[in-house]
Copies of this chain bind each other. A is one copy, B any other.
């Protein structure tokens, strides 16, 4: 059997907050969810069609304030039920694909200096992320609902800890390389 379709639940989860178009969904994943979840148009539009066919969502054509009219999707009772069932399920462990680690694993073919440059670049990227997270966090003041703010804080703190861990690891590793003889 094929991989489980997780995008399906991401879309249902968002639509369970508020009706959205495909374009809106992409904006959500590019902004609020980007740090732990991504989606593509190439998957969103076909999936919305399927969800509609399976009666998990309904489509309404709506004139937009700015730009062309949009197809707004609303979750059905059946959709909410399926979403909640997924939400309660246990997660399986993730499988990872971390390119910098793959390269470090093969790095005996690189000069030590080249590895250090890679790690410094990694630190820079993670610091970048950290400052992006801080900006997103500033928006949390506007969240009135306490439970929803809690949700946002829980995911955000993961982002911070993950980026900080990456920076610490890269710094430690540079130090280790510098004492290598």
A157 touches B129 (CB 8 A): no
B37 touches A101 (CB 8 A): yes
User: Interface residue tally of chain A, by bracket?
Assistant: 35 or more
B-contact 0/1 string along A69-88, CB 8 Å cutoff: 00000000000000110011
| Cβ contacts under 8 Å, A6 to chain B | 97, 99, 102
B151 touches A36 (CB 8 A): no
Q: How far is the CA of A19 from the CA of B45 in the complex (A)?
A: 43
Contacting A13 at CB < 8 Å: which of B9, B93, B105, B125?
B105
B-contact 0/1 string along A129-156, CB 8 Å cutoff: 1000000000000000111101111110
Nearest Cβ on chain B to A98's Cβ, whole angstroms: 5
Contacting A154 at CB < 8 Å: which of B97, B98, B173?
B173
Given contacts A10-B102, A150-B180, contact A36 B97 (CB under 8 A): yes
A106 touches B16 (CB 8 A): yes
Q: Which of A38, A95, A168 has the most CB of B within 10 A?
A: A95
